[in-house]
Amino acid sequence: MSLINKEIGDFTVQAFRNGEFKTVTKADVLGKWALFFFYPADFTFVCPTELEELAENYDAFKAEGCEVYSVSCDTHFVHKAWHDESERISKVTYPMLADPAHVLAEDFEVLIPADGLAERGAFIVDPDGKIQVYEVTAGGIGRNAEELLRLVQAAKFVREHGDQVCPAKWQPGAETLKPSLDLVGQL
């Protein structure tokens, strides 16, 4: 079953951001683009490389009007401890959402029940709270922040230009396609 256009459920979770704990709700997400970036656990191996790369690209996501939310089933206290101890994670300034009750992991269908952990999943959510892009990878496969940014840009473009679509490797400013009977069999 596809999650495309699924509206995310209501949630209230704790987060760690910039040295502070805060509450994040669905209402905080609505009205802008969001990337929910699930990873299995703090203090692990692939995760810090991914979160660091997201941190290095965070300004570009913000320039697109997209908030980044990293999510694991750890508590906000564990997020703070990891942020304090890891050179890579100390670079993170986007919200690190704590999901120990598995509310988000279940809603986005990435919970591994036997382990109490989340799969490695990335979900781009539009300003209406609907999933427009998602990918879930095996635990040992890291993701690319620049590709996720490109997907945010493409999703935004398609939303704003409903009569056009973005071909493979599309970048902002590049040629798009306008689906029509004339294009059938021409590509």
Give yes or no: 47 in active site: yes
CATH code for the domain defined by 6-143 = 3.40.30.10
| Catalytic pick among 47, 66, 73, 166 | 47
Name residue 24's beta-bridge partners: 13
Per-residue model confidence (pLDDT) at position 83: 97
Per-residue pLDDT of the chain (187 residues; tens, 9 = 90+): 799 999 999 999 999 999 999 999 999 999 999 999 999 999 999 999 999 999 999 999 999 999 999 999 999 999 999 999 999 999 999 999 999 999 999 999 999 999 999 999 999 999 999 999 999 999 999 999 999 999 999 999 999 998 899 999 999 999 998 888 887 887 7
Per-residue model confidence (pLDDT) at position 118: 98
